[in-house]
Structure 1
Amino acid sequence: MSTAIPDPVGPPLHVGGLSDAVTAAPVPPWLTVLTGGVLVGASFLVTSLLTDHAAIRAVNAWYARLPTPVSLHRGVAAALSAAGVVTFAAVLVSGAAGSATPTANFAVLVVWVGWWAGYAMSTYLVGNTWPAVNPWRTLARSLPTTGRRVLPRRYGAWPSVGFLLALVWIEVVSPLATVPRALVALILGYTAITLAGARRYGVVTWFRRVDPVSRVFRLYGRVAPVQFDRRIEDPPVVAGVDLRVRLPGAALTDPTTDDPGATAFVVALLWATTFDGLVTTPAWNAFARRLLAPLAPLQLAGRPLVWLFYLLALLVGFAGFLGAYRLAVARSRSVAGSLLAPVAIGRRFAPALLPIAAGYHLAHFLGYFLTLSPALAAALADPFGGGTVQVAVLPAWFGTLQVGVVVAGHLLAVWVAHALAMDLFPGVLRPIRSQYPLVGVMIGYTMTSAWIVGQPTVTPAFL
């Protein structure tokens, strides 16, 4: 079912403001939160009964190989790369010269509905095709290769952590969903930084260690059932690559060699998605308005202090999420009596947070995608059109489905954490005891996420 919506009056800045059709869960918020926490705790009790190390490894190691010709790999990679570049160009042109109505503008709908909602969901529900689709990577491969510098290893993933948080902050405080030209300006700025970085440090180094979008999709891809038997760092080089179908989340239990700061990036991804939903809840906005009201007349560098407020909120929340995780890791090490360094334990358990991030992203954006899919289809059919905008009206029970998706992601996270603990610590009781603090943090994340998706969406408070 779809309905027409009028042009927005005084449109909100936040991307979620494109649609008001996603409703809250039709159950009391306290019951939603409590149910999510209880289910995650109960799932831990069930998985604790599975103590056969070999059997757990066998389950996670299972796969079915889907061999395909090298020519097909090359053809698909080339087609995806071409589609990515064409879409990128169309977004820039339509954003600059298309409809001024956000819900009818090709660039706004493709970027936020088609890409960040729809395509991002495909990376953890199916598999990560971003190395081939990525238009910036395709363009970067055509740049001169002279004068490259080495990015110090000690930087690790920290540049991508800062880059990701900066993008989230800009998305929250800027009119990227309501002013197409502002979106184009951001894309051009991102393009300049990306191409300059790829030329300076090399395509592989930049898109693996610095670019936050590539890292997000690569991590989401580890949750997906479709995997590759080796990583594809440069899509044209695909000889010997076979598709493998695995159980969802099984690839998260594979050993990896992560850079310093890789754990912080996983936590930043989880917090960024949470923050993106938190700022649209009525409770947050009531709090923000009360806090900002006395500061409304004050400005910093010609801007209202609300910009600084949201930056501080983003950083404080990230520090809180990261601190809670590190505290749980330290407690887990103590309970298990392990001699491993806390950093090593935290890095090994970090993949267990990815199903939580993916589950919350799906719950947060599925309704958004379905609601605006008629508008997206109309924009794809007529990129420079306008007029009446159609949106889908979701049924009342959809809110319950959103909560179910959040809980499902956390249940998968509990299983991954259990498998990692069984692989990391010897014996039977030590792996189980090591999970107590981590499961406690997961329950906290679950209850927070369930509460957010159960709230109505409102415009973020800007004074």
Structure 2
Amino acid sequence: MSGRTEGGVKDRGAGVVFALATALAALPTSAFAHASDGGHVLLLPTGYYIAGGAFAVAVSFLVLAFLPPAALDNFLRKRLALFAFGDRPRAIVSLISFAGFVLLIAAGLLGSRDPLSNPLPLVIWTLLWAGFTLLQGVFGDLWSWLNPWYGPWRVASRVFGLQSDEAKPSRLPPWLGYWPAFALFVAFAWFELVDPAPDDPARLAFAAGIYWLASFVAMLLFGYGGWSKRGEFLTVFFSMVARFAPLERRDGRLSLCWPGAKLLAAEPLPLSGTAFLLLSLSSVSFDGLSKTFFWLGLFGVNPLEYPGRTALIGVGSFGLVLTFVLLAAVFTLAVFLGQRLAGDAQSFGKTAGLLVWSIVPIALAYHIAHYLTVLLVDGQYALVALSDPFGLGWNLFGTANRMVEAGIVAGAESAWWLWNLQAGVIIAGHVLAVVVAHGLTWRLHPQASRAALSQLPLTLLMIAYTIFGLWLLATPTAG
């Protein structure tokens, strides 16, 4: 804790909980929000946590600055071979996933309008966006098997005699880069964070169905590999996150490696790819910031009389763009100053496109910490809803009558564990980001002294973002 007595912390927590409960009671019921948003309050005492997190990131930089470059490189290159792993069943798995997606769309259109009873919003927002991102970061690129496009595309390519070799050049113009995926990610983030009713099952079913169809048509036009790697934002995002995973598949064989080691072999991203990765961090950061008393107070909104998302569309849209612009500007400044300190003569675009891979551990850590409580509670609702997707009294998986234990994130003991777990994840993510950044910098600067100098501004940025992340966990929120 932060030096306060246990009784003082409990009194403070009880007062904030009471205030937030009053705010929640005043929320309008005409608009949907994320299923369990605002239902659980986690307050992290600041002080020692913030100081300790910043200290850990700073120390990791100092240790790496005096470590011979070859030592870290040899350490991270180690692999432990596991077993051969073919991809023949990949199309079948994808077709099964597509069939499940179709059923979810039908449930969204025909099932309950309650987002806690309809499986579509629970699967998309909780199991896919909150939970599957964690799986990608641990087990690698599962999405390449489970995405609902690959199997149907393989079938269509055979039926219509289309080009089915993913290794052939993409028909997507190279100059587009990752901009299609970036634009679609912006639209997705806006729908999730700003739209008044992202959990409305029928509305979500329509949006998800149109997106699947548009992406499938784009894959037929530009090739599956071309569109999925640079246009379909979920595939782009999940593949970037999968580079952090300690499992690596190469030449049909699965190997075990250190977390983040695969990022060191990544090629520099173009400007569009750099923007995409920064957006993945800024969007989840804004999701946390937008609910804070601090942010609402800037626009004269009383958090105890929260007007609902409909009244804050303009504020939310502005904040989503502002957060991205500020992060991009600070990252650009950090890379530029690092180049000046190290006397780097290489192009700025190449340096920024390489160092931006160090954002992946931070983005993954923020994602886990931010969505942890949603996953723990709404994940249980998803198990119940999947057993009875159309509200007809079915019990397909034997979980339809399961009692949801919201208390899993309530109470002093649970809150203490969650606080520490979330804080630990954020700090660990930034420490690993420093490690990755150093490994990438040594590709640009073989001299250890120049590498350390070039990394100083970026390390300061990571320290500042550590403080910001822990503050987001600690500050009171309105919903």
TM-score range, shorter chain: 0.7 to 0.9
Confirm or deny that 1:322 pairs with 2:343. Answer: no
Residue in structure 1 matched with residue 255 of structure 2 by the alignment: 244
Residue in structure 1 matched with residue 359 of structure 2 by the alignment: 353
Structure 1 residue 82 displacement after superposition: 3.2
Confirm or deny that 1:453 pairs with 2:473. Answer: yes
Structure 1 residue 56 displacement after superposition: 1.6
Confirm or deny that 1:226 pairs with 2:251. Answer: no
Amino acid at match of 2:57: V
Residue in structure 2 matched with residue 235 of structure 1 by the alignment: none
* Superposed counterparts of 1:55-454, under 5 Å: 55-68=71-84, 70=86, 73-75=87-89, 77-143=90-156, 144=160, 150-229=171-250, 240-256=251-267, 258-290=269-301, 306-385=312-391, 390-393=404-407, 394=409, 395-397=414-416, 398-454=418-474
Pair 1:388–1:58, CA change in 2 (3 A): closer
Amino acid at match of 1:228: R
Alignment deviations for residues 22-73 of structure 1 (CA, whole Å, 9 cap, x no partner): 432341x3554333223212221222221x2222211111111222253xx4
Structure 1 residue 304 displacement after superposition: 7.2
Q: For the Cα contact (< 8 Å) 1:373–1:392, is it kept in 2?
A: no
Of 325-334 and 140-149, the range deviating more from structure 2: 140-149
SS at match of 2:256: strand
SS at match of 2:404: strand
Alignment deviations for residues 243-263 of structure 1 (CA, whole Å, 9 cap, x no partner): 121100010101425344211
Amino acid at match of 1:80: V
Of 250-259 and 181-190, the range deviating more from structure 2: 250-259
- For structure 2, the 5+ residue unaligned runs are 1-24, 164-168, 394-400
Structure 1 residue 117 displacement after superposition: 1.2
Structure 1 residue 118 displacement after superposition: 1.3
Q: Give the number of aligned pairs.
A: 428
Structure 1 residue 158 displacement after superposition: 1.8
Confirm or deny that 1:43 pairs with 2:43. Answer: no
Alignment deviations for residues 383-432 of structure 1 (CA, whole Å, 9 cap, x no partner): 23389972432112112211111111111001111111223202221111
Q: For the Cα contact (< 8 Å) 1:160–1:211, is it kept in 2?
A: yes
Alignment deviations for residues 147-174 of structure 1 (CA, whole Å, 9 cap, x no partner): 9993221221122112111110111222
CA distance in 1, matches of 2:28, 2:271: 46
Q: For the Cα contact (< 8 Å) 2:245–2:259, is it kept in 1?
A: yes
Amino acid at match of 1:82: L
Structure 1 residue 138 displacement after superposition: 2.7
SS at match of 2:149: helix
**TM-score after normalising by structure 1:** 0.85
SS at match of 1:248: coil
Structure 1 residue 19 displacement after superposition: 4.2
CA distance in 2, matches of 1:99, 1:268: 33
Percent identity between matched residues is 28
Pair 1:193–1:226, CA change in 2 (3 A): same
Q: For the Cα contact (< 8 Å) 1:406–1:446, is it kept in 2?
A: yes
Higher RCO (CA 8 Å, separation ≥ 6 residues)? 1
- For structure 1, the 5+ residue unaligned runs are 1-5, 230-239, 297-302
**TM-score after normalising by structure 2:** 0.83
CA distance in 1, matches of 2:404, 2:226: 43
Amino acid at match of 1:10: T
Structure 1 residue 288 displacement after superposition: 3.5
CA distance in 2, matches of 1:122, 1:422: 30
Structure 1 residue 341 displacement after superposition: 1.0
Pair 1:405–1:11, CA change in 2 (3 A): farther
SS at match of 1:18: coil
Amino acid at match of 2:63: V
Q: For the Cα contact (< 8 Å) 1:363–1:406, is it kept in 2?
A: yes
Pair 1:142–1:454, CA change in 2 (3 A): farther
CA RMSD of aligned residues (A): 2.7
SS at match of 1:103: coil
Structure 1 residue 455 displacement after superposition: 3.4
Alignment deviations for residues 350-377 of structure 1 (CA, whole Å, 9 cap, x no partner): 1111000001101111221112222122
Structure 1 residue 290 displacement after superposition: 4.1
